[in-house]
């Protein structure tokens, strides 16, 4: 134990950086309670094929036209609250929310859950993970 104290006193910057990183990791785990609703691309295809899940793409129209999941609906994140009525008819289905990397879609998932949608899943890694898994992408010209 004495050696740990000596090491910590001799390497304050290193120990400080360790605790800062540790605190950031703990904060990430605590502040992301919806993490259990993240879904991998392969799991998403199973939900789409077997449970008739709806895919909601929250990227901009330009990003959506550049490539999206087949049959996905484009509802840009900045207009999500105005489009809740449009999504209301899908409330009983699983909804998979996608963006480029999975961060915007996580925010959209929180908004949808607050609006009463129960089966909302965030596509972990977003379209980047979808394409990395070599899953089909539709491109508009």
Strands of 38-39's sheet in order across: 38-39, 120-123, 95-98, 54-57, 73-74
Q: Which CATH architecture has domain 35-132?
A: 3-Layer(aba) Sandwich (3.40)
Ramachandran region, residue 122 (left: φ > 0; alpha: ψ -120 to 50; beta: rest): beta
Q: Tell me the C-alpha distance between 34 and 70, whole Å.
A: 25
Is there a catalytic annotation at residue 109?
Answer: no
% of the chain beyond a pLDDT of 70: 93
Residue 3 near residue 10 (C-beta atoms within 8 A): no
pLDDT beyond 80 at 84:
yes
pTM of this structure: 0.75
**Eight-state DSSP code of residue 53:** P
Q: Which of 30-34, 38-42, 92-96 has the lowest mean pLDDT?
A: 30-34
| Residues contacting 16, CB < 8 A, separation 6+ | none
pLDDT beyond 60 at 34:
no
Residue of 55, 58, 96, 99 with catalytic role: 99
pLDDT, residue 27, reads: 75
């Amino acid at each position: 134990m004495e050696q740990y104290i000596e090491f910590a006193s001799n390497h304050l910057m290193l120990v400080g950086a360790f605790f800062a990183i540790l605190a950031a990791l703990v904060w990430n785990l605590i502040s992301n309670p919806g993490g259990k609703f993240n879904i991998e691309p392969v799991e998403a295809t199973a939900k789409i094929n077997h449970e008739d899940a709806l895919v909601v793409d929250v990227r901009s129209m330009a990003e959506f036209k550049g490539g999206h999941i087949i049959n996905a609906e484009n509802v840009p994140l900045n207009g999500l609250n105005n489009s809740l009525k449009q999504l209301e008819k899908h409330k009983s289905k699983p909804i998979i929310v996608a963006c480029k990397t999975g961060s915007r879609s996580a925010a959209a998932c929180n908004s949808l859950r607050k609006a009463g949608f129960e089966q909302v899943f965030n596509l972990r890694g977003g379209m980047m993970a979808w394409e990395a898994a070599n899953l089909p992408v539709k491109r508009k010209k």
